[in-house]
Amino acid sequence: PEVFYSNIFNSIRVHFWYFCLRYFIRIDLILFEYIYLIRTETCFVRTETRFSLFPFGVGCIF
C-alpha cells in the first residue's frame, strides 16, 4: 500500500509541476524573466503545501 500511494503522490506532483510550468510560461511572454522565476518558485511552494490539504486541487491557480 505504501508504494501504491507513493506512485499516486509522484504522478500528482509531476502533473501539478507541469501545470505550473505551462501556466507561468504564458506569463513569461508578458512579464520579465525575473518575475517569471519568482512566480514559478512561488507556484511550486504553494503546490507542495496543498498536496497534504487538497491532493486533487488546483494549487497553482490560487
pLDDT string in tens for the chain (62-residue length): 566 656 666 665 655 555 555 555 444 444 444 444 445 555 544 444 444 444 444 444 43
**Closest-CA residue to 61 (of 4, 5, 22, 8):** 22
Cell of 25: 510560461
Do the beta carbons of residue 19 and residue 59 sit within 8 Å? no
